Amino acid sequence: MTSSVLLPSEARSDIQGIVASGYGHLPCAAYLFFQVRDPARGREWLAGRVQEITTAAPWPEGPDGRRIKPGRALNLGLTAAGLRALEVPTQVVCTFAPEFQEGMAHPERARSLGDVGAEAPERFELGGPTTPPVHGALILHGRTEEELGTRVEEGLEGLDGTRDGVALVPDGRQEGGIWPGHVEPFGFRDGMAQPRVQGFHGDGVPTGEFVLGYPNHYGVIPPPPVVPAELDPQEILPPSENPHHRDRPLRDLGRHGSYLVYRKLAQDVAGFWRFMVQEADRRGGGPGPEPALRIASLCVGRWPGGAPLELAPEGDDPSLATEDDFLYGDDPQGNRCPLGAHVRRTNPRDVIHPYGAEASLRMSRAHRILRRGRVFGRPLFDPSRLLEPAPELGPFLRALRDDGELRGLHFLSVEAGIHRQFEFVQQAWCNNPSFNGLHDNPDPLIGRMPGPGDPPGTPPAPGRAGHAPGVMTFPRGPVQDRTLPLPRFVTNRGGAYFFLPGLRALRWLAEGVG
């Protein structure tokens, strides 16, 4: 089997469904973060969940030839602490990727991600060193809030901590959804430009970039977590095919598994638009909404309707929202889409200075992730107002104020290598003030910025020592226009790294351990 062909049904039936699908037809989601309090009962509880897991098996066709999509979905991830709580032997846990073993809240990892000051793990609502440890997460999706609520209650019945030894952690019930128009809280359409995966679509990014056990972008099968054969006498797991393991019989715990990153990102919507209005005023843009909308779109790299600036530099065109077949080679200086724009940083495509187009494409393709997030909270304003801005939108944005409610994004990403994919993008492309030859330009949305909640003495983000506060640069032909220092618009409130085991691996964790 190579990653250049579709995976067979039996392989897809061993992969968790959230890897293959974002469940866009199931707009309501809930995340139940739990803790294992008794290892034996925890494994019994896990055994009861295996049959409920939604897999990546192809959806069947109905009489009309259309795919019959699942009406609900359940997936499950475990942290390294969760594996230890289930009494998975140390000699097994130590074969997982180091970043997974250490976790997102590890001091060095937190610093590299920019989780310092008000975003330091010590201030996390979930997953930090001052909160109860998160051992795992049930991820549920449903068609309606009512259906999801029923599913959540069913899930909570097994998380009471008494009968099963598994309990919900404080603040462990988080809910999210898809807002009309698929917009995120700032009001921009989100969720486009997802990579196609060869094993699921027949073309696109190699399967091994997202599923363990297959060749990745470099044509290499990364070393998977493994189990000594004597610890799997029932042969639940497949044998390890890693050529470096031929001298010792090992079983493959990672086969068909993936890693999942979770971050709860709170968004300051009023602060975002207040800054855009101020920047428009500073340039003499006038009272109308267009100047502020343009500056905001330059920061994002897309218009509110979703059209990429590279294809629609002069104005929004929602018909281009899903268009992803474009490059930046004709715009090397960022005159249409700024070099530091959020979407250009997270997928630079064929322009990464000082490299050529071919090398840039290789690097970009080596760091893709699958996004599986949902928004939370209620919209601060009707985002549809941004699509056809009326004159009164200008005064409205100018007067916009925070209402005290929390809103933002439950960010989830699927990858086969947390460090090479999620962490690299966040650290090297988003937090990096010198990305693409820029200066003092972190990602305007999710790059590390100073914030009002930072305690005195907060260290700068990685690479920021000696640099001025972050700004955004808009090239204008031979000159450049820089904003005032960017405040923090997005704050991480917590998170964790999870392993999404294949179904056979889940069975071993439930039945083979102990």
The amino acid occupying position 402 is: D
For residues 317 and 434, membership in a common domain is answered with yes
Does an H or E element contain 395, and which?
helix 393-399
Same domain, 255 and 300: no
Q: Is 64 a domain residue?
A: no
pLDDT of residue 195: 95
Is residue 415 assigned to a domain?
A: no
Q: Is residue 346 included in any domain, yes or no?
A: yes
Rounded to an integer, the average pLDDT of 24-50 is 95
CB neighbour class for 229 (10 Å; exposed up to 12, middle 13-18, buried from 19): middle
Provide the 10 A C-beta neighbour count for residue 57. Answer: 17
Residues 255 and 359 in one domain: no
In the 8-state DSSP scheme, what is residue 235?
Answer: -
Kindly state whether residue 46 falls inside one of the protein's structural domains. yes
CB 131 within 8 A of CB 124: yes
Q: Residue 452 — pLDDT band, cuts 50, 70, 90?
A: low
Higher pLDDT: 36 or 513? It is 36
In-domain check, residue 1: no
236 and 122 assigned to the same domain: yes
Tell me how many degrees the CA angle 361-365-369 measures, rounded to the nearest 5.
145
Same domain, residue pair 351 and 458: yes
- State phi, psi for 289 to the nearest 5 degrees: -80, -20
The span from the CA of 101 to the CA of 225, in Å, is 11
Band of pLDDT at residue 453, cut at 50, 70 and 90: low
- DSSP conformational letter for 335: S
Q: How far is C-alpha 354 from the geometric centre of its chain's CA atoms?
A: 28
| Whole-angstrom distance, CA of residue 204 vs CA of residue 392 | 44
In angstroms, the Cα distances linking 54 to 19, 59, 82, 157 are: 10, 11, 21, 19
In order of 230, 275, 298, the CA distances from 282 in angstroms are 70, 10, 16
Spatial distance between the Cα atoms of 204 and 218, rounded to a whole number of angstroms: 14
Distances (CA, A) of 217 to 3, 178, 244, 416: 10, 31, 20, 11
Contact yes or no for 328/340 (Cβ under 8 A): no
- Beta-carbon contacts of residue 154 (< 8 Å; ≥ 6 apart): none
Q: What percent of the chain has pLDDT over 70?
A: 94
CA atoms of 266 and 445, how far apart (whole Å): 11
User: What is the pLDDT averaged over residues 443-453?
Assistant: 79
- Looking at residue 267, what DSSP letter applies? E
Q: How far apart are CA 144 and CA 174, in angstroms?
A: 16
d(CA 34, CA 159): 7
Of residues 442, 424, 425, the one with CA closest to residue 433? 442
Question: What is the extent of the structural domain holding 79?
Answer: 9-58+69-180+228-241+250-259+496-512
pLDDT in tens, 263-310: 999 999 999 999 999 999 998 887 789 999 999 999 999 999 999 999
Does one domain contain both 336 and 442?
yes
Contact (Cβ atoms closer than 8 angstroms) between residue 126 and residue 493: yes
The answer as to whether 133 is a domain residue is yes
Least confident of 37-46, 48-57, 98-107, 458-467: 458-467
- DSSP state at residue 61: B
> pLDDT category, 465, cuts 50, 70, 90?
very low
- Of the ranges 74-88, 284-298, 330-344, 466-480, which one carries the lowest mean pLDDT score? 466-480
For position 458, what pLDDT does the model report?
A: 54
The reply to whether 437 and 500 lie within a common domain is no
Virtual CA dihedral for 267, 268, 273, 276, nearest 10 degrees? -90
Q: Quick check: 410 pLDDT over 80? A: yes
Split at pLDDT 50, 70, 90, the class of 477 is low
What is the torsional sign of CA 61, 63, 68, 71? negative
Q: Which of 354, 335, 346, 408 is nearest to 371 (CA)?
A: 346
Write the DSSP assignment of 136-184 as a string of letters. EEEEEEESSHHHHHHHHHHHHHTTBSSSSSEEEEEEEEEEEB--GGGB-
* Domain presence at residue 446: yes
Cβ atoms within 10 Å, residue 64 = 6
Three-class secondary structure of residue 228 per DSSP: strand
Write the DSSP symbol of residue 353.
Answer: T
Q: How far is CA 462 from CA 103, 109, 155, 488, in A?
A: 18, 11, 40, 16
- The total number of structural domains that make up the chain: 2
Tens digits of residue pLDDT in 144-154: 999 998 888 88
Considering the domain architecture, whether residues 19 and 162 belong to the same structural domain is answered as: yes
Cβ(299)–Cβ(341) below 8 Å:
yes
pLDDT band of residue 464 (cuts 50, 70, 90) is very low
Task: Please give the model's pTM, rounded to 2 decimal places.
Answer: 0.94
Q: Based on the domain organization, do 106 and 168 belong to the same domain? A: yes
234 residue type, one letter: Q
- Residue 499's DSSP bridge partners are 78, 259
Are 293 and 358 in the same domain?
Answer: yes
Query: What integer best gives the mean pLDDT of the chain?
Result: 92
Tell me the C-alpha distance between 432 and 438, whole Å: 9
287 plus 277 within the same structural domain: yes
Count Cβ neighbours within 10 Å for each residue of 312-349 and write b for 16 or more, e otherwise.
beeebeeebbebeebebeebeebebbbbbbbbbbbbbb
pLDDT value at residue 290: 92
- What single DSSP character describes residue 189? B
Local confidence band at 468 (pLDDT 50, 70, 90 cut-offs): low
Structure tokens at 132: 């109860």
32 and 152 in contact (C-beta within 8 Å)? yes
Q: Cα separation of 463 and 251, whole Å?
A: 41
pLDDT at position 192: 87
Q: How far apart are CA 411 and CA 154, in angstroms?
A: 24
Are residues 302 and 308 in contact, defined by beta-carbon separation less than 8 angstroms?
yes
Would residue 371 count as lying in a domain? no
Q: What is the reported pLDDT for 3?
A: 39
Q: Is there a single domain that holds both residue 483 and residue 502?
A: no
Of 126-130, 362-366, 397-401, 453-457, the poorest mean pLDDT is in 453-457
The dihedral sign for the CA sequence 432, 436, 439, 443 = negative
